[in-house]
Amino acid sequence: MSLRFYDTSARQVRDFTPLREGCASLYLCGATVQAQPHIGHIRSGVNFDILRRWLEYRGYRVVLCRNVTDIDDKIINVAADEGVEWWEVAERNQRAFTAAYDILGCRPPTVEPRATGHVPEMIELMQRLIDRGHAYAAGDGSGDVYFDVSSYPGYGELSNQRIDQMRGAGDTDDDRGKRDPRDFALWKGARPGEPSWDTPWGRGRPGWHLECSAMSTKYLGGSFDIHGGGLDLVFPHHENEVAQSKAAGDGFARYWLHNGLLHMSGEKMSKSLGNSLLIPYMVRKVRPVELRYFLAQAHYRSVIDYSDDALYEAAAAYQRIEGFLTRAAEVAGTVEPHAEVPEPFAEALDDDLGVSPALAVVHGAVREGNNAITEGAKERIAELGGRVRAMTGVLGLDPLSDTWSGGGDSGLRDVVDALAAVALEQRQAARERKDYAAADAIRDQLLSAGIAVEDTPRGPRWELRRG
Ligand SMILES: [Zn+2]
């Protein structure tokens, strides 16, 4: 079977045929950097990181462009509240996003352009739209530039809405300069005290929608393969992106992929609830790889209902995979990942990136592997271990990879190993003299230092644990 995705625009699953053979170009709407990221923001990063890894596994050279919206009403408001420059707010939060993507094992995009670095491209696009009769500068001299929605018959197709049933765009404080309330702002005229850039129509700043059309065209061309983003961006943001680019004469995105949102108690996350879901808090509850597993395991288009229980369940599922591979490596010496994943796993991912059925294949192999350990079947253990590593590797979840095993810090791991061994010897000695209080105290001290001890038939084992 072929690789296929659910295309929001076509409202059906379509075979993936790239524009250029062997290449896949992806544009992903990135963060508006007005605050720190919570897991709802990062879910999209994890979902599309897996898409990228799967495309690469399937032999495509992937070019991933993910923008940063570094100018926006909210950024300006936060800066005003704090009495700092808008770019300080943007810089600080962009760093927090980058750290969050990194800690969850999302590889950096091929290019990560910022809106304010692409004003000339936006001016050029607005000029093309004005020349073709699809945009106009506001008649009130405000410097606003609007897209003329009624000039583009396809408006509403992506979000499946009829233009005569749409409300006003609501993107500017007053609509004095608009010809139609549904017209949306490409460019916002300068207001006192706000950052602004020169254009042929007056000073102002980028509208959110315009930047994505301008930057995707610059880095991926007028037509590209896949546009991704959260489901909440379909309207108005993506509808407006399509309108701008197609009205300007570009082909734009050929497939639209949208990830579902993260809800809390059935509600979309509000800001106050969201504070407890900021990434630094979350990676104290579970390890980063367990958080990645939690965000990855549901189908990318489904809603994730967040609860601590669901999070810990996901962590436990990941630990079953990790526990098997760790024991497999102990018994078999080393476990090397296979070059290829099993067919049922590949079929699951080919079918609109079915991570949940793919993980079912992983857990099936883990169960078989645990049986092989019980039976002491060494070759079988190594074989199943290699299979599990190949599959989890494609998902960015291989427990024995350098990213997650501490392999990148192997020197440090040796040091911790030696220190833990000393403490465990003392604990053993305390037990032998029946001083169980002292033995338990050593275990508790290790735990508070993040080292969890587990007694196994082959003696105590330890692992790093957070929280
Ligand atoms: Zn966008």
**Confidence class for position 448, pLDDT limits 50, 70, 90:** confident
What's the pLDDT score for residue 175? Answer: 61
DSSP assignment, residue 15? E
Measured in Å, residue 91 CA sits from the centre of ligand 1 at 19
Q: Is 170 left (phi over 0), alpha (psi -120 to 50) or beta?
A: left
- Among residues 12, 22, 32, the alpha carbon closest in space to that of 90 is found at 32
- Asked if the model's pLDDT at residue 411 lies above 60, the reply is no
Measured in Å, residue 329 CA sits from the centre of ligand 1 at 44
Measured in Å, residue 73 CA sits from the centre of ligand 1 at 16
Average of per-residue pLDDT across 321-340? 96
What's the pLDDT score for residue 467? Answer: 46
* Residue in the block written with tokens 């007694």: 455
Measured in Å, residue 67 CA sits from the centre of ligand 1 at 7
Burial of 221 (0-12, 13-18, 19+ CB in 10 A): middle
Average of per-residue pLDDT across 2-17? 97
Q: How far apart are CA 208 and CA 84, in angstroms?
A: 22
At position 417, the amino acid (one-letter code) is D
At position 229, the amino acid (one-letter code) is G
- Exposure letters 124-152 (e unless 16+ CB within 10 A, then b): ebbbbbbeeebbbbbeeebbbbbbbbebb
Name the fold adopted by 306-405: Four Helix Bundle (Hemerythrin (Met), subunit A) (1.20.120)
Average of per-residue pLDDT across 59-70? 98
Measured in Å, residue 27 CA sits from the centre of ligand 1 at 8
Chain-wide mean pLDDT for the chain? 92
Please state whether beta strands 61-66 and 23-28 pair in parallel, antiparallel, or not at all (unpaired).
parallel
pLDDT digits (tens, 9 = 90+) for 131-148: 999 999 998 889 999 999
Of all residues in the chain, what percent carry a pLDDT higher than 90?
Answer: 77
Structural domain boundaries in the chain: 4-259, 306-405, 409-464
Name the fold adopted by 4-259: Rossmann fold (3.40.50)
Measured in Å, residue 216 CA sits from the centre of ligand 1 at 9
pLDDT digits (tens, 9 = 90+) for 41-63: 999 999 999 999 999 999 999 99
What's the pLDDT score for residue 415? Answer: 67
Measured in Å, residue 5 CA sits from the centre of ligand 1 at 20
The pair of structure tokens assigned to 338 is: 């296979």
What's the pLDDT score for residue 190? Answer: 93
Measured in Å, residue 209 CA sits from the centre of ligand 1 at 6
Measured in Å, residue 330 CA sits from the centre of ligand 1 at 47
Say how many C-beta atoms besides its own lie within 10 A of residue 323's C-beta.
Answer: 16
Measured in Å, residue 332 CA sits from the centre of ligand 1 at 48
Map residue 342 onto helix, strand or coil. Answer: coil
Measured in Å, residue 24 CA sits from the centre of ligand 1 at 18
Q: How far apart are CA 218 and CA 450, in angstroms?
A: 47
Residues placed in the known binding site for Zn(2+): 29, 212, 237, 241
What's the pLDDT score for residue 453? Answer: 83
Measured in Å, residue 40 CA sits from the centre of ligand 1 at 17
Per-residue HEC secondary structure of 212-270 comes to: HHHHHHHHHCCEEEEEEEEHHHHHHHHHHHHHHHHHCCCCEEEEEEEECCEEECCEECC
Record the pTM.
Answer: 0.87
Q: How far apart are CA 189 and CA 276, in angstroms?
A: 37
The pair of structure tokens assigned to 19 is: 């524009």
Average of per-residue pLDDT across 214-227? 98
Average of per-residue pLDDT across 118-127? 98
Residues placed in the known binding site for ATP: 271
Measured in Å, residue 234 CA sits from the centre of ligand 1 at 10
The pair of structure tokens assigned to 8 is: 């929001």
**Confidence class for position 273, pLDDT limits 50, 70, 90:** low
Residues placed in the known binding site: 29, 212, 237, 241, 271
Measured in Å, residue 273 CA sits from the centre of ligand 1 at 25
Q: Are 312 and 132 in contact (CB under 8 A)?
A: no
